[in-house]
Every structure is written in C-alpha cells, then in structure tokens.
Amino acid sequence: MPKGLVVYDSATGNTEKMAMAISRGMKKAGLTVEVKRVKDASLDDLIDANAIVLGSPTYFANVSNKMKRFIDKSIKIYPDKLKNKVGAVFTSSEGVGSEMTLLSLIVAMLLHRMVIIGHQSGDFGAISFKEPDNNCVAECEAFGERIADFTKVIASR
C-alpha cells in the first residue's frame, strides 16, 4: 500500500486541523499515512513516503522558520532522493499571502523533481483563513482523497 506523509507546523492549531483532515482523506482513499509535526520529521521519513504533503502557517507571506529549516535540511537528499514522489501543500493564514506560502513549498518540491497535485478548486493547495470551518475541513478531506488517488497511480508505474 502506498505511504503518505503529512508534515506540518502549527503554533495555534489551525494548520494542524488541516493536516488531520487531509490525512483522513488520504487514509479513506487507501494510503497508510503518518502525520508529523515538522520538529519530529526526518529526511528518512521523506525518503520512505510515496506522497509528501507539507503544511505551514503563513508568516509574513511565507512559510514558518521551522518549516524553512526542515526544507533547507533536505539539501542533503537533493537532487534525486525525492524524485517522482507526489507532493501537495496547505497553509492557514488570516487572508494575506497564502498563495505565496503555497508557492514557496511547491517550488521546493519542484526543485526536488516531485510531481505536484493541486487543489480540486484550482487553488495551489488547501487554504484556511484562521480556524478551518466545517466547509474547509471537508475540502481538506477531499484534497487528501485526491492526493491519494494520484499517488496510487504514480506509485504503481
């Protein structure tokens, strides 16, 4: 069974709630899934996963420093250890700069030669404004299912 890994940072719980919802969707669609706070995630976790989903709160229209440090650590496994793995991203903000955060995460994944799955709505990834409401949680679950569906196809090639 393909493996999904959701790695997130969250100071006040909003991004965490999205991480849990996305992982539920991924499990529902048949992946085994690990969810880790970024401080607990390792490069081996990334290498072991078929799909890597990264989430960060938006801080000054970018990722948090904990997430940036984790991404910078991944230079040790650059350029090809994550090649052709599935990637997807999410963020929580108060409304300004979410897309820039998502793009920062996506650009790092593209540099790692990963295959990016965008959000079903056409957004670059899942976005919540402050605490995710029920609608956002349902969208995150559906996003998780979408990520898992593509992961199963890519992992079987």
Ligand X SMILES: Cc1cc2nc3c(=O)[nH]c(=O)nc-3n(C[C@H](O)[C@H](O)[C@H](O)COP(=O)(O)O)c2cc1C
CB-CB contact of 55 with 19 (8 Å)? yes
CB of 13 to ligand X, least distance (A): 5
CB of 12 to ligand X, least distance (A): 3
Query: Pattern 30-59, binding to ligand X, x per CB under 6 A?
Result: ---------------------------xxx
Q: Which is nearer to ligand X, 15 or 104 (CB)?
A: 15
CB of 133 to ligand X, least distance (A): 12
**Candidates 40-48, 89-97, 135-143, 148-156; binding stretch for ligand X (CB under 6 A):** 89-97
**Candidates 29-37, 40-48, 77-85, 95-103; binding stretch for ligand X (CB under 6 A):** 95-103
Q: N- to C-terminal Cα distance for the chain?
A: 14
Distance CA 60, CA 117 (A): 25
